[in-house]
Amino acid sequence: MPLDSVNCYEDADRANAYATLEFANTYYLAFRDLPRILTEHVSGTRALDFGCGAGRSTRFLRKLGFQATGVDISDDMLRIARATDPSGDYRLVPGDNFKQFAAGSFDLVLSAFTFDNIPGGMKARIFRDLEKLLAPCGTLVNLVSSPQIYTHKWASFTTRDFPENAAARSGDRVRIVTTDHQDRRPVEDILCTDESYRAFYRQAGLEAVQVFAPLASGKEPYAWVSETRVPPWVIYVLKRTT
């Protein structure tokens, strides 16, 4: 399969399994710091959740008081998002065409794990399009897997069967299995280093004003594996440069 056509979430079984995930284990560290980060960096409540999946991240934003619209390219995911949150706003964006939204109409664009499996050429184009949707003082929060997630073991994931991940370079395919849900088929992601992300941001007229690499303290009620030593996630807080 060419890299340009990867989206392992366009699959009913995968969507049903993914919908059971909430905020436990390794995912706890992805969402733990977001309320504080959003309070510090976002003014206004108009939010777009890019790659909303089954709606976990959109519901998270709605609970924080955002008027959040979730968008995704997977019908299977959106069907579950709407059923779980009937009063929410969940929309399909075929081909990542955002024409239904006016330029500058969001104070926040959140992308939670979405860029993990979007190939490089598409990343550049989508960052440019999302930048246009931001209000002049708007903020794009890009939460992604760290490169190290693919070479360690975690409370929520295993990479045991994919030793080849260690040799992957930015842009290469890597695989990981989520152990928090029933679907043990590997997810195929595209490795993207910090250097590559920053190059995409520059091309899109975005700059990282803060970057977080959350670690567990060891006091949380989860059976951590690598999480106290190695950050599984990276959270980029991005602003427009123009």
Ligand X SMILES: C[S@@+](CC[C@H](N)C(=O)[O-])C[C@H]1O[C@@H](n2cnc3c(N)ncnc32)[C@H](O)[C@@H]1O
Q: Which residues bind ligand X (CB under 6 A)?
A: 7, 9, 51-53, 56-57, 72-74, 77, 93, 96, 112-114, 117-118
Q: Considering the complex, what minimum distance in angstroms separates the CB of residue 74 from ligand X?
A: 4
Name which of 112 and 136 has its Cβ closer to ligand X.
Answer: 112
Name which of 9 and 154 has its Cβ closer to ligand X.
Answer: 9
Name which of 9 and 201 has its Cβ closer to ligand X.
Answer: 9
Q: Considering the complex, what minimum distance in angstroms separates the CB of residue 199 from ligand X?
A: 19
What is the rounded distance in angstroms from the CA atom of residue 130 to the CA atom of residue 141?
11
Residue 58 main-chain phi, psi, to 5 deg:
-70, -45
Give the tokens for residue 189. 């992601």
Residue 151 main-chain phi, psi, to 5 deg:
-125, 15
Name which of 55 and 218 has its Cβ closer to ligand X.
Answer: 55
Strands (E), 17-146: 46-50, 67-72, 89-92, 106-112, 134-145
Q: Considering the complex, what minimum distance in angstroms separates the CB of residue 176 from ligand X?
A: 11
Name which of 69 and 163 has its Cβ closer to ligand X.
Answer: 69
Name which of 83 and 137 has its Cβ closer to ligand X.
Answer: 83
Report the residue number whose CB is nearest to ligand X: 53
The answer to whether residues 225 and 159 touch, using CB atoms and an 8 Å cutoff, is: no
Give the tokens for residue 231. 């950050």
Alpha-carbon torsion, ordered 47, 3, 188, 7, to 10 deg: 50
Q: Considering the complex, what minimum distance in angstroms separates the CB of residue 200 from ligand X?
A: 14
Q: Considering the complex, what minimum distance in angstroms separates the CB of residue 169 from ligand X?
A: 21
Name which of 93 and 216 has its Cβ closer to ligand X.
Answer: 93
Pairing of strands 67-72, 46-50: parallel
Residue 165 main-chain phi, psi, to 5 deg:
-55, -30
Task: Count the residues in the chain.
Answer: 242
Pairing of strands 157-158, 173-178: antiparallel
Could you identify the residue written with the tokens 């929309």? 91
